[in-house]
Amino acid sequence: MKTIRLTIATTVGLLCLNAVTIGCKREAVARTGTEQQVDDALIEQVKTAFRNSPAFKFPDVQAVAFKGKVQLSGFVLSEDQKRSAESIAKSIPGVVAVENNISLKH
Protein backbone atom coordinates (compact mmCIF):
# COMPACT_ATOMS: atom_id res chain seq x y z
CA MET A 1 0.00 0.00 0.00
CA LYS A 2 2.85 2.38 0.87
CA THR A 3 4.52 1.55 -2.42
CA ILE A 4 1.38 2.42 -4.38
CA ARG A 5 0.98 5.74 -2.54
CA LEU A 6 4.63 6.59 -3.09
CA THR A 7 4.36 5.72 -6.79
CA ILE A 8 1.25 7.86 -7.19
CA ALA A 9 2.80 10.77 -5.31
CA THR A 10 5.98 10.57 -7.39
CA THR A 11 4.02 10.38 -10.64
CA VAL A 12 1.86 13.37 -9.71
CA GLY A 13 4.94 15.34 -8.68
CA LEU A 14 6.70 14.60 -11.95
CA LEU A 15 3.62 15.54 -13.97
CA CYS A 16 3.37 18.87 -12.13
CA LEU A 17 7.07 19.55 -12.64
CA ASN A 18 6.78 18.65 -16.31
CA ALA A 19 3.79 20.99 -16.76
CA VAL A 20 5.71 23.85 -15.17
CA THR A 21 8.82 23.34 -17.28
CA ILE A 22 6.83 22.99 -20.50
CA GLY A 23 5.08 26.26 -19.76
CA CYS A 24 8.44 27.97 -19.22
CA LYS A 25 9.81 26.95 -22.59
CA ARG A 26 7.59 29.41 -24.46
CA GLU A 27 9.59 32.08 -26.16
CA ALA A 28 8.37 35.63 -25.83
CA VAL A 29 7.19 37.26 -29.02
CA ALA A 30 8.72 40.67 -29.33
CA ARG A 31 6.76 43.60 -30.72
CA THR A 32 8.16 46.85 -31.95
CA GLY A 33 6.99 50.11 -30.46
CA THR A 34 5.02 50.77 -33.63
CA GLU A 35 3.25 47.40 -33.42
CA GLN A 36 2.37 48.09 -29.79
CA GLN A 37 0.97 51.50 -30.72
CA VAL A 38 -1.10 49.99 -33.53
CA ASP A 39 -2.50 47.33 -31.19
CA ASP A 40 -3.27 49.94 -28.51
CA ALA A 41 -5.04 52.09 -31.11
CA LEU A 42 -7.11 49.09 -32.26
CA ILE A 43 -8.16 48.37 -28.68
CA GLU A 44 -9.23 51.98 -28.18
CA GLN A 45 -11.13 52.00 -31.47
CA VAL A 46 -12.99 48.80 -30.55
CA LYS A 47 -13.86 50.17 -27.10
CA THR A 48 -15.04 53.46 -28.62
CA ALA A 49 -17.15 51.60 -31.19
CA PHE A 50 -18.73 49.56 -28.39
CA ARG A 51 -19.53 52.74 -26.41
CA ASN A 52 -20.94 54.53 -29.46
CA SER A 53 -23.08 51.65 -30.68
CA PRO A 54 -26.75 52.22 -29.82
CA ALA A 55 -27.32 48.45 -29.72
CA PHE A 56 -24.24 47.47 -27.74
CA LYS A 57 -23.89 48.73 -24.17
CA PHE A 58 -22.14 45.96 -22.31
CA PRO A 59 -19.36 46.99 -19.93
CA ASP A 60 -18.47 43.35 -19.21
CA VAL A 61 -16.75 42.88 -22.59
CA GLN A 62 -13.00 43.41 -22.94
CA ALA A 63 -10.81 43.61 -26.03
CA VAL A 64 -7.11 42.96 -26.49
CA ALA A 65 -5.11 43.10 -29.71
CA PHE A 66 -1.94 41.55 -31.04
CA LYS A 67 -0.69 42.26 -34.56
CA GLY A 68 -4.14 43.23 -35.81
CA LYS A 69 -5.93 40.28 -34.23
CA VAL A 70 -8.53 41.27 -31.66
CA GLN A 71 -9.62 38.91 -28.89
CA LEU A 72 -12.93 39.60 -27.17
CA SER A 73 -13.77 38.23 -23.73
CA GLY A 74 -16.28 38.88 -21.00
CA PHE A 75 -20.01 38.38 -20.65
CA VAL A 76 -23.22 39.29 -22.49
CA LEU A 77 -26.84 38.24 -22.11
CA SER A 78 -27.52 36.72 -25.55
CA GLU A 79 -25.98 35.21 -28.68
CA ASP A 80 -27.16 38.29 -30.62
CA GLN A 81 -25.11 40.52 -28.33
CA LYS A 82 -22.10 38.23 -28.75
CA ARG A 83 -22.40 38.36 -32.54
CA SER A 84 -22.92 42.12 -32.40
CA ALA A 85 -19.67 42.59 -30.48
CA GLU A 86 -17.78 40.52 -33.02
CA SER A 87 -19.33 42.40 -35.93
CA ILE A 88 -18.43 45.77 -34.40
CA ALA A 89 -14.83 44.67 -33.81
CA LYS A 90 -14.51 43.33 -37.38
CA SER A 91 -15.70 46.67 -38.76
CA ILE A 92 -12.68 48.54 -37.36
CA PRO A 93 -10.07 49.34 -40.03
CA GLY A 94 -6.85 47.45 -39.32
CA VAL A 95 -8.51 44.50 -37.60
CA VAL A 96 -7.44 41.40 -39.51
CA ALA A 97 -9.21 38.80 -37.35
CA VAL A 98 -11.48 38.56 -34.30
CA GLU A 99 -11.43 35.75 -31.77
CA ASN A 100 -14.74 35.88 -29.95
CA ASN A 101 -14.36 34.34 -26.47
CA ILE A 102 -17.37 36.14 -25.01
CA SER A 103 -19.48 34.00 -22.69
CA LEU A 104 -23.20 34.14 -22.01
CA LYS A 105 -24.40 35.10 -18.54
CA HIS A 106 -26.82 32.54 -17.15
Q: Domains along the chain?
A: 30-104 (3.30.1340.30)
Task: State the pLDDT confidence band at 10, using cuts at 50, 70 and 90.
Answer: low
For residues 38 and 79, give the distance between their C-alpha atoms in angstroms, rounded to a whole number.
29
Q: What does the pLDDT look like over 76-100, one tens digit per residue? A: 989 999 999 999 999 999 999 999 9
For residues 7 and 91, give the distance between their C-alpha atoms in angstroms, rounded to a whole number.
56
CA-closest candidate to residue 105, choices 59, 40, 36: 59
- pLDDT value at residue 31: 59
Q: What does the pLDDT look like over 17-75, one tens digit per residue? A: 454 444 544 555 565 777 788 788 889 999 999 888 887 777 789 999 999 999 999 99
For residues 47 and 64, give the distance between their C-alpha atoms in angstroms, rounded to a whole number.
10
